[in-house]
Structure 1
Amino acid sequence: MKDSNHRLSVNSGKRLPLVFLAIAGLASLTNTAQAEEFQFRLHHFLGPDSPAQKVLLEPWAERIREQSNGRIDISIHPGMSLGGAPPSLVNQVESGEVDMVWTLAGYTPGRFPRTEVFELPAVHFRSAYATNRAIFANFDLIEADYKGLKPLLVHVHAGNAIHMAGQDVTEPADLRGLTIRTPSRTGGWLIDAWQAEQAAMPAPRIRDALADGSIDGALIPFEVFSSIGLEGLVGHSVVGADGSRFGTSVFLFLMNQDQFDALPADLQQVIDDNIGLDFVKEMGLAWDDLEVPGRMVQYENLTKLPVDDIYAFEDVSEQVVQRWIREVTSQGIDGRELVDEARRYIARYSRIITTLD
C-alpha cells in the first residue's frame, strides 16, 4: 500500500514539482501558526459547571477567539487544576505562571486595599449591577491596586446572605459565639463585630464544614447555593426585606500585563473592546439574575428582616466601615473619599436597577 506522502506527490501518474510541495508545506505551517498565534491559560477555583465558567469565562473566551479570527486561543482550567490553592491565583498571574485568572480579592487579604471598599457592609446594598457600575465609574480611585496586572473585569455578586445550619437570626446578638465562614477580611471584621467567630475558607469547602459542624453558618450569595451543594444543610437564610445584604465579595478577572503588552496592537484592541462598560453591565445583570434559583430553593427557609431589625445590623456594619477607613488611611489611602464615592455611585445605580425592575 502506498503511504500518504506518496499519494500527495502523484497526480494522474505525474510527479508534482518539488517547489510546489515546499510552498504547500510552508503554507500549511503558516496557516497553523496563524490559527493559534497566542495561547493563553485561564485558571480559576470553581468547578467547570459553575456560573463563573458558564456565564462569564466561556462566553468571553469564545468572543475573543472569534473576534481575533482564531489568533487568540484561551483554554480554561477550573478547580485549581493547574495546581496551587485559591489564594495563590493572584501570584500565579503576576508571575506569569498562568496568563489569566478569575479569583476573589478576599483570597489575598490586603493585596487590593482600595478595591475592598466595594465589598464593605453598609456600602454595597443589594445589586451586582449597581456596584459593578460604581466600580467602573470610580476605577481611577482603585487603579493603583493593579500595578503589573491587566484588569479585565472587577465585579461583585449580589451580596452575602447569612446562611445558618440551625437557628434563625433576627438580630446581631443571635450570632454571638457562633462560627461563621467569611469570604474576606472585611467579612471577617463584620463577624468579629457580631461577636461571633470567623472561619476563612474557599466556597467549595463550605458544604463539608456545615455538614461536620465545624461552622454554624456562612456568608455567601444565593448564586452558588446549589453549585456547592448546600440544599438540605441550611435551615435559615437571612436577608433584609428591602433586599439589603451583609456586604459582598469582589471578584477579579485578571491578565498578566506582560502577556497583554506582547500582543500586537490589533489583538490588544480585541481584548479592550470586550472589557468596557457593556461588559460591566452585562455581568452585573447576569449575577443579579443568578441569585434567583438559589433564593427559590430557600424560599421556605428565607427570613426577610424588616427595616427596624435591619437598623441594628447596619449600626454594626458601620463599625466595620469606620475600621476599614482607619486601616487604609494609615497606609496613605483616602478611605473616606473611597467610601463616600462608592456609596454615592452605588445609590445612583441602585435607583437605575430599581427602575428596570
Structure 2
Amino acid sequence: MNIFKKLILGAALTLGSGACLAADVTLRYNQWFPSQHWSQKDGLYKYFEEIEKVTEGRVKVRPSAKPLAPPTKNYQAVLSGIADIAWGPHGYTPGAFLLTEMVEFPFLTYDAGISSKAYWRTYKKFFEPTGMQDGVITLAMHVTSGGNIHMRTEDISTPDDFYGKKMRVQTSVLGNALQSLGAVPISGSLSELREFLSRGIIDGTMLSDELLYGFKVNKYVNKVTQIPGGIYTNSAFIIMNKQKWERISLKDRTAIMEISGEKLSVKMGRLWHENDIDARAKLIESLGDDYQVASESLIKAIDTSFEEGRTRWFEKAKEQGINGEQALDYYKKLVINLDSKL
C-alpha cells in the first residue's frame, strides 16, 4: 500500500511539474516600432496586459529592448523562433503574402475599425483555408487607415502633377500604380522616412495622416491631398510562434484567443481610425488650403492606375485556389453592411 501511495504521489508531482512548465511562459515581442507610438502603448501593450490578466499571470509578453529583427523579417523571425510575437505590415515583404494585396487597392478604407472587422472575416473565409500563415499562430489581421498624398513643396492636384516626382512607397502594388502615372517610386521603411524627407531624397510619400505625427515628420510636409477611402491601405498581422504557443496550457490558449481574432483586429483598426481623425484636424488647422481633397479627375486617374494591379491580383488569387473577384466583393459588401449597422 505504501509503495502504491508513493507511486501515486510521484506521478502527481511529475504531472504538476509538467503543468507548470506548460503554463508559465514569457513571450518575446519584436519591438521595432517606436514604443511610445499609440499603436504600441495604447494597442499592443494593452493587449499584452490583457494576456497576462486572462491567464492569471502564467503568460507574459515582454517587448525586446532593441529589434530582434527588422520589419522586413518580422514574419520570418516568428517562424524561426527568433521572436515569439510580432506585429507588422505584410507589404514589407513583397510577394510573400500575395492574398493580402487585396486591401492595398484604393478607396476601400473609410474607417479602419470597420474595415478590420471585414478583413478578419474575409481572411477566415477565403485566405486562411489556402494555408496562408499556417507556419504561425495568427492572433489578428487588421488594416491601417487609408493613405493620403503628403508632399514637401509641390502639391498633387492633377494626374500630371505626379510626373517625375520621387515618391516613397511601402508596397509594390502602390509603387507600380504610381509608376504608371509617371512618378518615380522609391522603396523605404518608416524608419527611413525622416531622412528621406529632411534631405530631399523624396518629393513626397503616401501615408495615413496620423503617421506624420507618430513619426514626427509633419514639419517636412507642406502639401496634402486627401484621397477619400485612401490611395492604399496597409494589411497588418499579429502572430505568435507555434512552438511557444504549444507550451501554453490549453486553458490559457483558449483565454488568449477569446481576446484575439476579430476583437483584437477591430481594436487595432479602431485605434488607427481615431488617431487618424485627430491628425487630420491638426493638419487642416496648420495647412489651411494646402490640405485639399482630391478632384474627381485625380481619383479617376488613380483608379485607372491600379487596374493592371487588380487584374494581376485576381490571377494570383486564382493560382492560390480562390476566386479573387468573389473575395473582394465579399470584403466590400461586409464593409458597407457593417458601416450601416453603426
* TM-score class, shorter: 0.7 to 0.9
SS at match of 1:198: strand
Aligned partners of 1:171 and 1:313 also within 8 Å: no
The structure with more radius of gyration: 1
Displacement of 1:313 in angstroms is 2.2
3-state SS of paired residue (1:225): helix
Give distance in 2, aligned partners of 1:39 and 1:83: 15
Query: Out of 294, 302, 305, which is 2:294 matched to?
Result: 305
Whether 2:96 is the aligned partner of 1:111: answer yes
1:120-135 aligned at under 5 Å gives the runs 120-122=105-107, 124-135=108-119
Report Cα offsets for 1:160-181 as digits up to 9, x if no partner: 1111111111122211121111
Pairing partner for 1:291 from 267, 273, 276 = 276
CA 1:323 to 1:176, structure 2 compared with 1: closer, same or farther past 3 Å? farther
Which residue in the other structure is 1:149 paired with? 136
1:138 aligns with 2:127: no
Shift of 1:232: 1.8
- State how far apart, in whole Å, the 1-side matches of 2:262 and 2:134 are: 21
The whole-number CA distance in structure 2 between the counterparts of 1:131 and 1:348 is: 11
Question: Unpaired runs of 5+ in structure 1?
Answer: 1-29
Match of 1:11 in 2: none
Deviation per residue, 1:2-40 (Å, 9 max, x gap) = xxxxxxxxxxxxxxxxxxxxxxxxxxxx9xx79x81000
Picking from 44, 59, 73, the partner of 1:88 is 73
User: Structure 1 pair 324/177, CA: closer, same or farther in 2 (3 Å)?
Assistant: farther
Unaligned 5+ residue runs, structure 2?
1-16
Quick one: structure 1 residues 335 and 250, their matched pair in 2 at CA, closer, same or farther if it must change by over 3 Å? Answer: same
Asked if the contact 1:166–1:234 (Cα under 8 Å) also holds between the matched residues in 2, the reply is: yes
Identity %: 22
**Residue 242 of structure 2 aligns with which residue?**
257
**Which residue is 2:259 aligned to?**
274
Note the 1:201-216 alignment, pairs <5 A. 201-216=188-203
Counterpart contact for 1:40–1:72, Cα < 8 Å: yes
CA contact (8 A) 1:193 1:320 kept: no
Match of 1:226 among 193, 210, 213: 213
What is the CA–CA distance in structure 2 between the aligned matches of 1:72 and 1:179, rounded to whole Å? 46
Q: TM-score, normalised by structure 2?
A: 0.86
- Relative distance call for 1:56 and 1:196 in structure 2 (3 A) is same
Question: How many residue pairs end up in the alignment?
Answer: 318
The structure in which a higher percent of residues are helix is 2
Decide whether the 8 Å contact of 1:105 with 1:251 is kept in 2: yes
TM-aligned CA deviation for residue 269 of structure 1: 0.8
Shift of 1:63: 0.6
SS in 2 for 1:170: coil
8 Å CA contact 1:117, 1:342 repeated in 2: no
Take 1:329 and 1:214, find their aligned partners in 2: how far apart are those partners? 39
Once the two structures are superposed, what CA deviation does each residue of 1:221-263 show, in whole Å capped at 9, x if it has no partner? 11211121212211111113xx321010011111112221222
Note if 1:325 corresponds to 2:314.
Answer: yes
Q: CA deviation at 1:318?
A: 3.2
Amino acid at match of 1:245: G
Q: TM-score, normalised by structure 1?
A: 0.82
Q: Show CA shifts across 1:80-101 (max 9, x none).
A: x144322111111000111000
Whether the 8 Å CA contact 2:170–2:189 is kept in 1: the answer is yes
